[in-house]
Amino acid sequence: MLKNKTYRSTCPLTSLLDIIGDKWSLIIIRDLFMGKNTYGQFLNSPEGISTNILADRLKLMKNNELISYVYKEYNKKVKYYYLTNKGIDLYPIICEMMLWSDKHLKFKEMHPLGLQSIKSIKESGIELEIKETKNSYLKTRSELLKIL
């Protein structure tokens, strides 16, 4: 298991890197924004995360309170993951990262979240896009939590 014992410095950038500074965590967060919320759905993403890494990252991000999960009453097997408020607040970072790539890398085709978010940002600005995505996710989440 990837260990996250203590922060390397008092730098706020470094401390967030201590939490999500790897190749997979933010991809899972992206998937949650996309509406995915189960282990199996995360596994199906095009990046092809392996099962042990996925299990490890879910555990770590749960410990760091970026995500949490619930069971549905009629199914004791599947965990339904969701973003906490702390997790939702990562969206501006994800936006800026997608914008950077859109500006500096060349894509022949593009993943749906990227395509839609970037279009939306260009049309109505980043602040509105962030606000709308957060609200939209809050709605999704409250529906999940209401069907406990």
Partner DNA sequence: TTTTTTACTTGTTTTTTGCAATTGATTTTT
Partner DNA sequence: AAAAATCAATTGCAAAAAACAAGTAAAAAA
Q: At 57, which amino acid appears?
A: R
Shortest approach of a copy of itself to residue 148 CB, angstroms?
A: 26
The 3-class secondary structure across 50-86, one letter per residue, is CHHHHHHHHHHHHHCCCEEEEEECCEEEEEEEEECHH
Q: Which does 43 bind (CB under 5 to 8 A by kind): DNA, a copy of itself, none?
A: DNA
- Binding partner of 132, given DNA, a copy of itself, none, CB within 5-8 angstroms per partner class: none
Residue 55's binding partner among DNA, a copy of itself, none (Cβ under 5 to 8 angstroms by kind) is DNA
Rounded to whole angstroms, the Cα distance separating 121 from 127 reads: 8
| Smallest separation (angstroms) from DNA to the CB of 126 | 29
* Residues contributing to the site for a copy of itself (CB under 8 A): 8-18, 21-23, 26-27, 30, 45-48, 86, 89-90, 92-105, 107-111, 113-114, 118
Kindly tell me which of 21 and 41 has the beta carbon lying closer to a copy of itself.
21
Measuring CA to CA, which residue among 72, 77, 67, 88 is closest to residue 40?
77
φ/ψ of 96, rounded to 5, equals: -60, -35
Chain residues in the site for DNA (CB under 7 A): 1-3, 22-24, 38-40, 43, 48-53, 55-56, 58-59, 74-79
The secondary structure of residue 73, as a DSSP letter, is: T
